Chain A
Amino acid sequence: MSPHDDDLGRWQDDPVFRALTGPASGDELAGEAEALAAFRAAVPLRSRRQYAGRLGIGGSALGIAIALSGGVAAAYSGSLPTPVQRVTYDVGSWAGVPAPQHHHHKLLVAGDHGSSPTPTASRSTFITPSPHTVSVIATLTPSPASSWHHSAAAGSKVKSRSKASRSASPTASSTPTATPTPTPAVTPTTTPTPTPTPTVTAAPLPASITITLGSSRVTSGGTVSVLGHLATSTGAPVASTRVWLLERITGEDAVTQVAMGLTGADGSITLTSPVLSHNARFRLAAAHRLRSASLGVVVVPTVSAGVTAQGTSYSVRVSTSGGNAGDTVALEQRSNGRWQQVSTAALDGSGGATFSVPIPPKHDVHYRVILSRTQAHASAQASFVAPPE
């Protein structure tokens, strides 16, 4: 099957369609190593499970351990009995199950306290335990029963071999503390140096970021204010959090980070664009991969016309600010209440153009020059009057 067979052919050139089906980014393929590790781990596990099945023991427990969902496993793995948790770790580290530790706590600190000098962006998907990493996730509802939450088997074409079994309940020795402790003393079993002393900050998690432009049109050479607001999923403001302003010049692929600031106590932030001489789109970005919608700003050039008599005609010098060499300027004359195009010219290297119009014999003649809209800017115009001799 072609992914886009039959009736989707007409959409192949649609920009949204193209964007949706575009090539994978490095970000999207970032979890390859973890995926491969899970695949490798599954092979011996399958063998073990088959072996256990022949012996009639242990199969269900192993199945349960693997079936824990990543978020659930990460949040609730402290509830697992150590042997089960260790098996989970064999395969489930890919889904965020930390390695078993002697001290079980409901709070785990996500952070690299080891050798990496520059922490990379946090990825909630794969918290891979290592001697250099201590992972902490806080949860409010440590229900042992829900630790065994198992999603309904979705693959109808597959014989499900793992069923949740409550027989594998946590033992007394591994029963976790029921109430999350705000300041846990985390002591990894394999302690690297230096000993981590994590600081847990239960900062609100930003879930949405909005963007508002001070203006959607700006005179060439001007700037625009960009207002943003960062909020949690419940709408509460997220303060003191970095927000970046991203700019993409229309017609270009590159996106540039042009400003950065911290949100205020009310979660809002105001950033200022750089000087604009070209249409652009702006987007706000924050941690946790939050991206606002993108909004466009149209640059409006300024146009002026100077008229100078030269014999029997006027020389009309058109000057622009924000126009680019090659842009088209049209000269129109008002006649019988309607505008009629007289001539066109291309802007020169200085952003100007010159026309010549006759000096009228009796009455004023009204003209206007129009700089056509381009990908870089909006249209703009200027009017002038050619007086009689």
Chain B
Amino acid sequence: MLDDALRRARSGDESGFLELWRALQPRLLRYLRVHNGEGFEDIAAETWLQIVRDLPNFIGTADGFRGWLFTIARHRAIDASRARATRPVIALADVNAGGPAASAPSAENVAMERLSTDQALSMVATLPAEQAELVALRVIAGLDVSAVAEMVGKTPGAVRVSVHRGLRALSRDPRIQSEVI
């Protein structure tokens, strides 16, 4: 489905690019939240900047594009983690934090719609780091087993087992019970 969008995007067609972006950006953000947590939106933006820059040189299918996107994101996330550890940054207060209370409900209502996924992402992040990433790449990013295995340097069998164990652990989490808030 995305192959045509990819072809059009490579030729400079905006609608093709937007189709790719809309399909993959939510998954990219979720993956980066599990991987990095802090600064995930910045990393996603950087990833797309590299994508749009190098898109004309990309050769492959939509599946390959997905793998390329998440490979870039993963490397940038790792870089960001390292940089954060060595480069302290003073951030300013949220410009909205001190705003009038009357403006809060609408913003919060938007956030509330995200709670279910937020909770699930938080749970994934509680898995061992390596397993959490495999689950994120396999389930959230939607990469197939072989692509994930190649990306992280493991065998497909090891990826498959680890992902299933991770999902099983999540499904048995007492916080889940019958549903995810």
Contacts and interface: CB of A to CB of B under 8 A. Distances in A.
B42 interface: yes
Given A118-B103, A244-B108, A246-B115, A31 B92 contact: no
Contacts of B45: 31, 34-35, 70, 94-96, 125-126
Interface string B97-141: 111010111011111111111111111100000000000001111
A67 B176 contact: no
Interface string B38-80: 1101111110111011111111101110101001111110011
Interface stretch (A22-30, A269-277, A303-311, A313-321): A22-30
Contacts of A72: 83
Interface of A: 1-8, 11, 14-29, 31-32, 34-36, 38-40, 42-43, 45-46, 66-67, 69-72, 74-75, 91-92, 94-96, 109-112, 118-126, 136-141, 146, 149, 151-152, 154-162, 200-203, 205, 207, 233, 241-242, 244, 246, 248, 250, 254-257, 260, 281, 283, 285, 287-289, 291, 293-294, 296
Q: Which of A16, A19, A22 has the most CB of B within 10 A?
A: A16
| Ranked 5 nearest A-B pairs via Cβ | A3-B142, A19-B120, A125-B41, A203-B93, A154-B75
A96 B89 CA distance: 15
Contacts of A32: 18, 21-22, 25
B115 A294 contact: yes
A120 B62 CA distance: 35
Contact of B83 (A42, A149, A248, A294): A149
A25 B140 contact: no
B154 interface: no
18 contacts: A1-B142, A11-B167, A21-B140, A22-B116, A27-B111, A28-B30, A38-B49, A66-B53, A91-B49, A110-B95, A111-B95, A120-B96, A149-B83, A161-B57, A201-B92, A254-B112, A291-B115, A296-B177
Nearest to A143: B87
A180 to B, nearest CB: 8
A141 B83 CA distance: 11
B180 A5 contact: no
A201 B93 contact: yes
A42 B121 CA distance: 32
B76 A69 contact: yes
Given A15-B171, A36-B18, 7 more contacts: A16-B124, A19-B117, A26-B113, A94-B45, A123-B41, A158-B57, A248-B181
B4 interface: no
A24 B42 contact: no
Contact of A7 (B38, B97, B98, B145): B145
A294 B42 contact: no
Given A156-B71, A291-B118, A25 B104 contact: no
B25 A121 contact: no
Given A158-B54, A207-B38, A246-B108, A16 B46 contact: no
Q: B interface, by DSSP: helix, strand, loop or mixed? A: helix
B11 to A, nearest CB: 10
Contacts of A151: 46, 75-76, 79
B59 A157 contact: yes
B29 interface: yes
A246 B110 CA distance: 12
B123 A202 contact: no
B94 A122 contact: yes
Contacts of B171: 11, 14-16
Contacts of A233: 38
A54 to B, nearest CB: 16
Interface string B169-181: 0110101111111
Given A69-B46, A91-B49, A36 B92 contact: no
B42 A125 contact: yes
B7 interface: no
Contacts of A121: 94, 96, 107
A139 B25 contact: no
Contacts of B109: 255, 257
Contact of A24 (B26, B55, B59): B26
Nearest to B47: A154
A283 B122 CA distance: 13
A155 B142 CA distance: 18
A200 B90 CA distance: 11
Given A15-B176, A16-B123, A287 B96 contact: yes
Contact of A94 (B49, B56, B91): B49
A140 B90 contact: yes
B89 A75 contact: yes
A140 to B, nearest CB: 5
B58 A157 contact: yes
A92 B109 CA distance: 31
